Amino acid sequence: MRFLDSHVHMVSRTTDDYQRMAAAGTVAIIEPSFWQGQPRTEVGSFKDYFNTLIGFERFRASQFGIKHYCTIGLNPKEANNERLAEGVMELLPLYICKEGVVGIGEIGFDDQTKLEEIYLRKQAALALEADLPIQIHTPHRDKKTGTIRTMDVLEDVGCDPFKVVIDHNNEETVKTVLDRGYWAAFTIYPHTKLGNERMVQIMREYGGERIIVDSAADWGISDALAVPKTAALMKEAGISMEDIQRVCYQNPLIAYGQSGQLKEHDWEEAKGVDPKELFEGNTLLRGGQDIAAAMASKVIT
Amino acid sequence: MQEKLLEILKHTAEAEAVDWLENHLAQQKEGFAQRPFYYAFSGVSRHFDKQSTVTVNTEDEEALSKATPGFSVANWDEFRLARVILLLTLAEQGKDTFLETLNALINTADIREQVAIFSAFPLLQYPEELVPLAREGTRTNIVDVFDAIALDTPFPMRHFDDEGWNQMVLKALFISRPLYRVQGLETRANLKLAEALSNLAHERWAAGRYVSPELWRSCAPFLTEQIISDLARVAEDENPNQKAAVALIAANSDPDKKLAGLRDDVASQLDDAISGRLTWDTLGQDLEQALLAAAA
């Protein structure tokens, strides 16, 4: 089975993760812009971070035969630094029309402050201007209120819910998100947020329509294989293969495919690792490793 | 040049995409503004075919190399050509606007955008301002970007100083790029580079690693004692491609017959080199094909 992990912060992950993801069938990933564990103090740090997302990280993923896409945006935590936020807003037009940028994200609320709302509105308007999907981060604290407030703001700006993925849902938020016409994504973390088994229960209740499973793997304890592992658990629990394929592959493809920048033939026509990109000295595959053999020993079925 | 490039783009690109580009060029010619230019430059990816390669006929090739010797768009994709066309409009906007916008673009460019920007360098004004950008660009870890600066382009040959040139040639070898596609290897050869290349060969030999026979091309005018003894070692290699390097130097670059003692070791390759069947280009092409075949 093929997987599309639509939320994973690969800049924080190792090549071991890339190998295991490729071996498990992850063919494409979307890396949202987010904060990096500690606040940035200069606008230039955002520029270099965005450059990494559209540059070196894309290249790194390609070395493992994985197609890398990203969403670009000002995250809600750092929206609270107004000087920085204004600078980032000036940068965004340079990035949002680039190849492989599949949306504005991840944006939304963290502490649910006034500044957070201002930059959510501005970026939602930018997404409308560029006709791009939006990837929404919902707050960890007071999640239900924050999620509803996010949808209110988006609708006020004029966004189409079908072009918005609301992420980090739980049992408390999923119903209203789906009822209002949005895509509902679930982040599977090993110990916090949502474990794989809770996800199976949600699938039993809501089926596969407009639901997306992602890993949101980052610099904290998290699992870059969360999507294929959850898929395996769903299969054991008797969820239909069709629904599993929808939430782990097809739905994010449809949602972010609305950017025109994410198409199945991007990876279907690719011939694995581009041999031209493998050269001595600069390849990440040091010492002429046989990546196919390394992967084959770790396939999750 | 811009018109000719548009004409080439039209051979393959969808009419709708070309219309979009021409409309944008017309708007920018009336009154240039940065933000629409940024949108257009990155937005090329939303209008042109991601995978389509441009087609270039003989007449096109002749027109391009007549206007800018050494410049070619063979094997370019549509994104690259469309973006170079846009950059030619940017280049008409006066030095300050041109350089400020170009720097902003290069500082935020994705891989294919960087490739396009460096590809345009032979066509742009103010090369003295572009050289530091190109030199910084050669520090990349991304092959396509390095290739856009170093291969199939006259820019480094014309504008890099010896230090920049030498670093580029050494890195090209270090990362196994096909050296025959670097323009100006003969005219830019210098003793310092020849010595550095010899040292690189020794390091590789010590580590039991492969040394490309193309390395010796830049050493040809400098048959020092060390390089002659290096070539003696290469002549003894069983691989005919290694012997070919010695043969090419003996046939074309050794008026004083300093390599007389090696000619028997490479007799068969020497015949080919004298008759012209073997050249640095044919050798480079064979090596490139072999490398690609091995990687695939």
Degrees (nearest 5) of the Cα angle B275, B277, B281? 125
Check whether residue B119 and residue B198 sit in a common domain.
Answer: no
Residue B268 in this model has a pLDDT that exceeds 70: yes
Q: Which residues of chain B does A50 touch, with a Cβ-Cβ cutoff of 8 Å? A: 108
| Domain assignment present for B171 | no
Distance of residue A282 Cα from the nearest chain B Cα, in angstroms:
6
Mutation for A interface: B141, B145, B215, most A CBs within 10 A: B141
Residue A278 in this model has a pLDDT that exceeds 50: no
Could you give the CA distance from residue A246 to residue A240 in angstroms, rounded to a whole number? 10
The average confidence (pLDDT) of chain A is: 89
Check whether residue B116 and residue B199 sit in a common domain.
Answer: no
| Domain assignment present for A285 | no
A17-21, B28-32, B281-285: which has the minimum mean pLDDT?
Answer: B28-32
**Range B253-277 burial, b when 16+ CB lie within 10 A, else e:** bbeeebbeebbebbeebbebbeeee
| Domain assignment present for B225 | yes
Q: Quick one: pLDDT at residue B281?
A: 97
| Domain assignment present for B23 | yes
Give the end of a domain, one of B83, B108, B124.
B124
Q: Which residues of chain B does A277 touch, with a Cβ-Cβ cutoff of 8 Å? A: 143-144
Give which of A56, A71, A70 is closest to B110, Cα–Cα: A56
Amino acid symbol at A279: F
pLDDT tens track for B200-238: 999 999 999 999 999 999 999 999 999 999 999 999 999
The alpha carbon of residue B210 and the mean position of all alpha carbons in its chain are separated, in whole angstroms, by 22
Confidence bin at A199 (pLDDT 50/70/90): confident
User: Is there a contact between B194 and B218 (Cβ–Cβ < 8 Å)?
Assistant: yes
Contact flag B143-A282 (C-beta cutoff 8 Å): yes
Identify the CATH number of the domain in which residue A102 sits.
3.20.20.140
Q: Which residues of chain B does A95 touch, with a Cβ-Cβ cutoff of 8 Å? A: 42, 108
- ipTM rounded to 2 decimals: 0.70
User: Is there a contact between B194 and B215 (Cβ–Cβ < 8 Å)?
Assistant: no
Give the end of a domain, one of B124, B143, B167.
B124
Structural domain including B70 reads 2-124
Q: Quick one: pLDDT at residue B142?
A: 85
Using the Cα atoms of residue B135, residue B170, residue B284 and residue A283 in order, give the sign of their dihedral: negative
Return the number of other C-beta atoms located less than 10 Å from residue B238's C-beta: 6
| Domain assignment present for A288 | no
Q: How many residues does this entry show for chain B?
A: 296
Place of tokens 């990837």: A135
Q: Quick one: pLDDT at residue A192?
A: 52
| Domain assignment present for A294 | no
Residue A298 in this model has a pLDDT that exceeds 50: no
Average pLDDT for A90-114: 95
Beta strand extents in chain A (DSSP E only): 3-5, 26-32, 67-72, 101-108, 134-137, 164-166, 183-187, 211-214
User: Is there a contact between B175 and A283 (Cβ–Cβ < 8 Å)?
Assistant: no
Is any Cβ of chain B less than 8 angstroms from the Cβ of A276? yes
Residue A274 in this model has a pLDDT that exceeds 70: no
Is any Cβ of chain A less than 8 angstroms from the Cβ of B83? no
Out of A95, A266, A280, name the one closest to residue B176 (CB): A280
Number of folded domains in chain B?
A: 2
Check whether residue B20 and residue B113 sit in a common domain.
Answer: yes
Check whether residue B119 and residue B232 sit in a common domain.
Answer: no
| Domain assignment present for B131 | no
Confidence bin at A198 (pLDDT 50/70/90): confident
Q: Quick one: pLDDT at residue A272?
A: 56
Determine what percent of chain A is predicted with pLDDT higher than 90: 77
Could you give the CA distance from residue A284 to residue A288 in angstroms, rounded to a whole number? 10
**Torsion angle of alpha carbons B60, B178, B53, B50, nearest 10°?**
-140
Bigger pLDDT: A286 vs B174: B174
Number of folded domains in chain A?
A: 1
Q: Which residues of chain B does A97 touch, with a Cβ-Cβ cutoff of 8 Å? A: 38-39, 42-43, 45-46
Confidence bin at A194 (pLDDT 50/70/90): low
| Domain assignment present for A292 | no
Check whether residue B7 and residue B120 sit in a common domain.
Answer: yes
Could you give the CA distance from residue A59 to residue A276 in angstroms, rounded to a whole number? 12
Q: Quick one: pLDDT at residue A191?
A: 62
Residue A36 in this model has a pLDDT that exceeds 90: no
| Domain assignment present for A289 | no
Q: Which two tokens stand for residue A288?
A: 């002429």
**CA nearest to B211 within chain A:** A280
Average pLDDT for B286-295: 88
| Domain assignment present for A55 | yes
Could you give the CA distance from residue B235 to residue B241 in angstroms, rounded to a whole number? 10
| Domain assignment present for A278 | no
Could you give the CA distance from residue B145 to residue B133 in angstroms, rounded to a whole number? 12
| Domain assignment present for A279 | no
pLDDT tens track for B45-63: 999 988 899 999 999 999 9
**CA nearest to A90 within chain B:** B35
Reduced to 3 states (helix: H, G, I; strand: E, B; else coil), residue A105 is strand
Q: Which residues of chain A does B51 touch, with a Cβ-Cβ cutoff of 8 Å? A: 269
**CA nearest to A92 within chain B:** B108
The average confidence (pLDDT) of chain B is: 95
Contact flag B110-A100 (C-beta cutoff 8 Å): yes
Terminal CA-CA length for chain B:
37
Check whether residue B91 and residue B200 sit in a common domain.
Answer: no
Check whether residue B115 and residue B227 sit in a common domain.
Answer: no
Q: Quick one: pLDDT at residue B282?
A: 98
Confidence bin at A102 (pLDDT 50/70/90): very high
Residue B91 in this model has a pLDDT that exceeds 50: yes
Structural domain including A16 reads 3-268
Check whether residue B119 and residue B205 sit in a common domain.
Answer: no
Q: Quick one: pLDDT at residue B291?
A: 83
